[in-house]
Structure 1
Amino acid sequence: MNITLRQLRLFLAVFETQSITAAAARQNITQSAASKVIAELETQLGFALFDRTTRRVEPTDAAIEFHAFAVDVIATMQAATRSVEELAALKRGKVSIAASPLMIYGLLAAPITEYRERFPGVRFELHELSTDETVESVRAGAVDFGLGAVEGELPGVASEVVYQGRMRAVVSMDSPLASRERIRLADLARFNHISLRRFFSVRRTLDQLVADKGVVLPSGVEVGTLTSALGLVKQGDSVLIAPSYAAKIAEEWGMRTIAIVDIPADAHRLSLIQRRLGRPTLATRKFLHELIPRLKAISG
């Protein structure tokens, strides 16, 4: 049995109007075509749906029973159609992202807020994770995409560099360095540093940079959050080296940031991390279509 939506719609029209002619007009087909469709449906079902008289078409008991099922099917299809249309218009949806707290605040907060203003029905789930945890979450399909500093090919995921940024020194307003606009790594070696733990990709990037320069940055305190690091810097003479997108938090908190001249402009590279062969949701694709050019535009 292969009952079509066309047959069901016409059946409902005949049931409601009790007229083949009126139902045909409603469905924009001829009366003869409508009669043929109803006859085919009756043949497929194996019972008569209507008693035809010269004046009107009366539904049979079987038609009355069948009517409820036909209404359910059409209603389900209409709901499915509306659902797809709403998704297409981004009236609803979900975007799930994994990134470090630094990246969420410095790079993602503004784009997410602006996107939500235009598409308030789209819900965001933000997972504050280290780069290693981000990669695992993407690989497992727990999030739509991640942002992190990764190198080389990684099994199960695809990555694309979407942001390249500088590193800046963060100091308190009372620091001897507060008046400096530019500084070299060797000059920073004379001061004590607050370090982020090694699960932060920015920490691994910095370790490689200072090793390449042959510089040692003394650190007496290692922390697990940017908030802790900035709080310690603000209260003393210690230095924190942070990516430029995170350094702006320090400026908002009343601290100074200083350009480090011998660290390349593209020292800190962040990649978009997605599941290999995965297909993002419509809401995610739309967000990424806007986010990627934006990140590339503010690089450097």
Structure 2
Amino acid sequence: MTLDDLRVFSVVCRAGSLSGAARELSCTQSAVSQHVKRLERELALSLLDRHTRGVVPTPAGHILHAAITEGLGSIDHALRRLEELARAEGGSVRVTTGATTVRHFMSAAVVDFRRRHPRASLEFQTETSSRGCYDALSAGGVDLAWVTLRPTDRAVEQRPVVEIPWALAVSVSDPLAGRDRVEPGDLQDARLIGLPRNSTSRLQLGAWLAEAGVRPVFDTSVADWDTAILLAELGLGVAVVPALPAWSGPGHPDLRLVPIPALPALAAGWAVRRWDALSPLAQAFAATVAHHCDRQTVRK
């Protein structure tokens, strides 16, 4: 078997079909099939179950795909670092995160990092969930993932950077806007604007409210916190959101963030494959973001 066989098999598992993998790899379906057959012949095991709508990995295929994802990700990461050394250039840092993270957590750090490392390039890959960020990290396409932290069985290392308290975002015209705090029980039967069901912050919030015996109704779903804030400010609903500094002050005169101190804070930070394998540039960027998050917390 070859590295190409393994790479093609990984694409097939991700695409869910031989034809989909062929399109992604810009080759023929027959060529994709030959790579898979060579692996199955070498291992004397069936790696894919074929169905009318595509293929899914067999138990053996799942084992191999997991190993490929971890192994090839590390190889690709090492090859990028070697290429940077050979070019003797500034290098690059590849970051995956949600759509609004740079604005809320990294804007000052990006400016600071660029000033300190003018020849380095920063590449941001936007994902819609922490799960997508973990997938990109495992596949070796990025160096750092900024995520809502949670226990995971992924082969990654996590470092918390900030803890963000929860607040109820309401319009100034809402009766709750004049309160100094909201209790979880106040959210019983409330119709909330929420993030997608599979997002880490939505899952954690739901679990914490359930522990308090609260069953809110999420009747509006948005893709990110900023959209939830906008709808709440317009009076189209209320939203339980992390109390981020960008939403306080003169920029949002019609918005109130009422603290919910009984809910555990939301933890956010970095996930990487291995900290000791990060390039010096990636380590420097991660540290710069953490430094500015600390400064932001002190100012609050």
TM-score by length of 1: 0.62
Secondary structure at the aligned position of 2:159 is classed as strand
RMSD value, Cα = 2.8
Task: Find out whether 1:257 has 2:235 as its counterpart.
Answer: no
Secondary structure at the aligned position of 1:230 is classed as helix
Aligned-pair CA distance for 1:104: 2.4
- How far apart are the structure 2 equivalents of 1:172 and 1:220? 18
Aligned-pair CA distance for 1:190: 5.5
Task: Work out whether residues 95 and 123 of structure 2, in 8 Å CA contact, stay in contact via their aligned partners in 1.
Answer: yes
Task: Work out whether residues 98 and 130 of structure 2, in 8 Å CA contact, stay in contact via their aligned partners in 1.
Answer: yes
* Residues 251-260 or 133-142, more deviating: 251-260
Letter in 1 for 2:271: I
Task: Work out whether residues 230 and 250 of structure 1, in 8 Å CA contact, stay in contact via their aligned partners in 2.
Answer: no
Aligned-pair CA distance for 1:142: 0.6
- How far apart are the structure 2 equivalents of 1:81 and 1:123? 15
Match of 1:276 in 2: 274
Match of 1:42 in 2: none
Aligned-pair CA distance for 1:206: 0.6
Match of 2:100 in 1: 102
Task: Find out whether 1:183 has 2:182 as its counterpart.
Answer: yes
Match of 2:212 in 1: 213
Match of 1:52 in 2: none
Secondary structure at the aligned position of 2:169 is classed as strand
Q: Deviations over 1:51-109 (max 9, x none)?
A: xxxxxxxxxxxxxxxxxxxxxxxxxxxxx99964xx5xxxx332111111233221122
Aligned-pair CA distance for 1:290: 2.6
Secondary structure at the aligned position of 1:162 is classed as strand
Q: 2:113 aligns with which of 112, 115, 118?
A: 115
- How far apart are the structure 2 equivalents of 1:162 and 1:209? 21
Q: Deviations over 1:205-225 (max 9, x none)?
A: 111110111112222211223
Task: Work out whether residues 99 and 126 of structure 2, in 8 Å CA contact, stay in contact via their aligned partners in 1.
Answer: yes
Aligned-pair CA distance for 1:236: 1.8
Aligned-pair CA distance for 1:193: 1.0
Letter in 1 for 2:123: E
Task: Work out whether residues 97 and 125 of structure 2, in 8 Å CA contact, stay in contact via their aligned partners in 1.
Answer: yes
Within 5 Å, give how 1:1-300 maps onto structure 2: 84=88, 92-129=90-127, 130-189=129-188, 191-236=190-235, 238-245=237-244, 248-249=246-247, 252-254=251-253, 255-264=255-264, 267-276=265-274, 279-295=277-293, 298=297
- How far apart are the structure 2 equivalents of 1:204 and 1:269? 13
Q: Structure 1 residues 142 and 278, CA, compared in 2 at 3 Å: closer, same or farther?
A: farther
Aligned-pair CA distance for 1:261: 2.3
* Residues 148-157 or 233-242, more deviating: 148-157
Aligned-pair CA distance for 1:124: 1.4
* Residues 281-290 or 166-175, more deviating: 281-290
- How far apart are the structure 2 equivalents of 1:227 and 1:294? 21
Q: Deviations over 1:225-261 (max 9, x none)?
A: 334322321222521111123x633653331111112
Secondary structure at the aligned position of 1:125 is classed as strand
Task: Work out whether residues 195 and 202 of structure 2, in 8 Å CA contact, stay in contact via their aligned partners in 1.
Answer: yes
- How far apart are the structure 1 equivalents of 2:239 and 2:286? 31
Letter in 1 for 2:284: K
- How far apart are the structure 2 equivalents of 1:183 and 1:132? 30
Letter in 1 for 2:124: L
Task: Work out whether residues 270 and 286 of structure 2, in 8 Å CA contact, stay in contact via their aligned partners in 1.
Answer: no
Aligned-pair CA distance for 1:296: 5.3
* Residues 166-175 or 107-116, more deviating: 107-116
Task: Work out whether residues 183 and 259 of structure 1, in 8 Å CA contact, stay in contact via their aligned partners in 2.
Answer: yes
Q: Deviations over 1:181-202 (max 9, x none)?
A: 2111212336421011123221
Letter in 1 for 2:212: K
Q: Structure 1 residues 261 and 148, CA, compared in 2 at 3 Å: closer, same or farther?
A: same
Aligned-pair CA distance for 1:268: 0.8
Task: Work out whether residues 202 and 243 of structure 1, in 8 Å CA contact, stay in contact via their aligned partners in 2.
Answer: no
Secondary structure at the aligned position of 1:113 is classed as helix
Q: Deviations over 1:88-139 (max 9, x none)?
A: xxxx332111111233221122211222233332221112211001001111
- How far apart are the structure 2 equivalents of 1:136 and 1:210? 28
Letter in 2 for 1:238: G
- How far apart are the structure 1 equivalents of 2:293 and 2:270? 10
- How far apart are the structure 2 equivalents of 1:153 and 1:227? 26
Q: Structure 1 residues 277 and 119, CA, compared in 2 at 3 Å: closer, same or farther?
A: closer
Task: Work out whether residues 148 and 272 of structure 1, in 8 Å CA contact, stay in contact via their aligned partners in 2.
Answer: yes
